[in-house]
Amino acid sequence: MTPKKLSVGVFKAANNWPLNAALANEILEQAGVEVEVVHISSSKQQMEGLIRNEYEVIHTAADNVIAAHAEHDLALPPEKPRIFMGGDDGFLSVHSSNNAKSFGDLKGKRVGFDSTTSGFAFVLKKILSMEGLKEGAYHEVVVGGTDLRFKALLDGNIDAAIMTPPHDLLCSAAGFTRLANASSYLPRYQGLVGACRPDSFPDSFLMKYKAALVKSLLWLRDRRNKTAAIDILEDYLEVGDASLLSELYDDLIFRERGGFDPSGSVDPEALDSVVMLRREFSRTNVLGPRSKYLMQL
């Protein structure tokens, strides 16, 4: 049965821009989809809420869906969560404080993580490994989400961390060094996806939802809408820095490599990269092929 109002669990972040614009411009409403947004504070809370039907759809890192299949700390229903929609490559970048101006300077230093077993943590560990810093060459410090990692950098409690927008630009404004964009090391990586329990509602409803977000992204990519788009994000993130938001628009919406997928599709090779990293850093062999995590609409 199609719910009267679709509840969507998300993290409060800039990569929700297409969803925010779809709501502000009534694109979802015109598609016959009424949406209530629920903000989530942790990946575990997000997945547990989906399993308990507190919301029907989540926008989450692809690795969170894979982890829900591979790990056993969640009481999953027979119909495990699956990915029905792509989103972006994560917009991930690595930043360091003034105590570390290069990757070589991070040896023996404190690297901040949300969790040392999350997908984005694996991305950071892979980058560090490719730069010659294997696990154990640096101190892993569990700090929390992006906002908390940014604060930890400001307070001098860590020396480096991986960031997502807008905190990557806030790092630059604070004088921190951008050591790398993750896309330079992992050209194909699936970041944000849309996921749900396959038994929640018919495929036709998910297709309407996906199509509305694709239409919203096309609206964002029309530069005539830049001012209105920035206003939407400013209201959502409560960030009043006009120059930062303008830079964010030019970077996120029009990123030449990676970024938002204009078709809302999952990149199969990018998803394989997520599986590969979890296999490498979680030391698990029960992951299976990508088809295990996907819904075909």
**Which domains are assigned to the chain?**
6-89+189-293 (3.40.190.10), 93-184 (3.40.190.10)
* Mean per-residue pLDDT, 160-164: 96
- Residue 1 predicted with pLDDT over 50: no
Q: What is the pLDDT of residue 145?
A: 85
Q: Is 83 helix (H, G, I), strand (E, B) or coil?
A: strand
Neighbours of 187 (CB within 10 A): 13
Q: Is the pLDDT of residue 3 over 70?
A: no
Tell me the percentage of the chain whose pLDDT exceeds 70: 94
Q: pLDDT tens-digit profile of 81-140?
A: 899 999 999 999 999 998 899 999 999 999 999 889 899 999 999 999 999 999 999 999
Residue range 209-251, pLDDT digits in tens: 999 999 999 999 999 999 999 999 999 988 778 888 999 999 9
Query: Average pLDDT in the 6-32 region?
Result: 94
Q: Quote the percentage of the chain above a pLDDT of 90.
A: 68
Res 60 pLDDT > 60: yes
As a whole number of angstroms, the distance between CA 86 and CA 77 comes to 23
pLDDT at 200: 73
Mean pLDDT (the chain, rounded): 90
Task: State how far the Cα of 187 lies from the Cα of 96, in Å rounded to an integer.
Answer: 22
Q: Worst-scoring range by mean pLDDT, 39-53, 168-182, 282-296?
A: 282-296
Q: What tokens appear for 240 in the block? A: 């009043």
pLDDT for res 233: 94
Whether residue 289 is predicted with pLDDT greater than 80 in this model: the reply is no
CA distance linking residue 22 with residue 6, whole number of Å: 14
Spatial neighbors of 118 by CB under 8 A, at least 6 apart, are 43, 61, 63, 64, 67
- At 76 the pLDDT is 58
How confident is the model over 9-13, as a mean pLDDT?
A: 90
